[in-house]
Amino acid sequence: IAYEVSEGTVVRESDVLYTKNASTLQIGDAEKVRISLDGNAEIAVKAIGKALAVEVLKGDALIDTRGMANMSALSADTQVTADNAVISVSTQAGSSMVYVYSGSATLTRGDETETVKAGQVATIVASGMEQAAFNANSLSEAQMVKLIACGMDDTFCLTKADLEQVRADREAEK
């Protein structure tokens, strides 16, 4: 059964939420938006123990865990646990990417565990996980817009000015 959600809809375990082209979805609590989805994204709401978890089935999700206990995301058979962090998880056919903008995230896949710190992106493929540094130029327009909207602070690896400069440079190139 599919239905349109509106402000105030309560999300429960086992709900599957998806967005269509050019639509977005924000899930939050009383304090702030905790999960932001781009168009053509799909997540399943789960729980790991008493902690909230979302499985990013398709597309991009920004997850803000600042001020809350561990929250997990699942992607490509990998559990991503973010504690007081801001991350994004992008799941596409055959691979996933986890960007860490603030704080750190622990990625667990089978017996393999990696800690990814702010300013790093982890790429997850069938053969394993790799980490690399990223900068503002590495991000999509949608990622930058969501980061600016989440209320960036001094714990972030980038500044709002960095993002606005890249956006202005890209617009000038057009």
3-state secondary structure the chain: CCCCCCCCCCCCCCCEEECCCCCCEEEECCCCEEEEECCCCEEEEEEECCEEEEEEEEEEEEEECCCCCCEEEEECCEEEEEEEEEEEEEEECCEEEEEEEEEEEEEEECCEEEEEECCEEEEEECCEEEEEECCHHHCCHHHHHHHHHCCCCCCECCCHHHHHHHHHHHHHHC
Angle subtended by helix axes 160-173 and 141-149, to nearest 10:
150
Q: Is the pLDDT of residue 35 over 80?
A: yes
**Residue the block writes with tokens 């304090």:** 31
Q: Residue 77's pLDDT is what?
A: 86
Q: Read off the pLDDT of each residue in 4-11 and give the average, rounded to a whole number.
A: 76
pLDDT, the chain, mean: 89
- Which residues, in sequence order, are bridge partners of residue 104? 83, 117
Q: Is the pLDDT of residue 2 over 80?
A: no
Q: Is the pLDDT of residue 76 over 80?
A: no
* Residue 163 CB partners (closer than 8 Å, separation 6+): 136, 139, 144, 147, 148
pLDDT bin (cut points 50, 70, 90) of residue 117 is very high
Q: Read off the pLDDT of each residue in 5-32 and give the average, rounded to a whole number.
A: 82
